[in-house]
Amino acid sequence: MQWLWCWRCKSEMPMLDEQEFAEVIALFEPGARSVKKYRLETGAPFQSVPLAKHFEAMLTGYEAITGFKETNPNAVWHHRLSLYGPPCKKCGKPLRTPKARLCGSCMTPSG
């Protein structure tokens, strides 16, 4: 786990390495099934589903690794270190992707 600037959350977020990501994401599927079942039973619209409850196991796993209490299971999908490039030489923010040629923040070329 490593704290890194997240372009989507617009703040420093705990990012998972590949092994940690695999462990946490393995718990997504049971959560998704639980949501599906809940919606079939209640007819509730997606917006009203208490996601933090259905994905409790996954979010608890994320918190156990990162110490960060995330409530949005979907955010975990992009908190993965391998999605980002090395830090910008000028401003230190991670490049948006490993292949990015320019820093998304200060436009300094990466190579």
Size of the site for Zn ion (CB under 5 A): 11
Handedness of CA 97, 9, 23, 72 (dihedral sign): negative
Candidate segments 12-20, 45-53, 62-70, 94-102, binder of Zn ion by CB under 5 A: 12-20
Instruction: Please state the closest distance from residue 101 (CB atom) to Zn ion, in A.
Output: 12
- What is the per-residue DSSP string for 11-37? EEEEEB-HHHHHHHHTTHHHHHHHHHH
Amino acid at 65: I
Q: What is the DSSP letter of 86?
A: P
Nearer to Zn ion, 9 or 64 (CB): 9
Instruction: Please state the closest distance from residue 10 (CB atom) to Zn ion, in A.
Output: 8
Residues forming the site for Zn ion (CB under 5 A): 6, 8-9, 13, 88, 90-91, 103, 105-106, 108
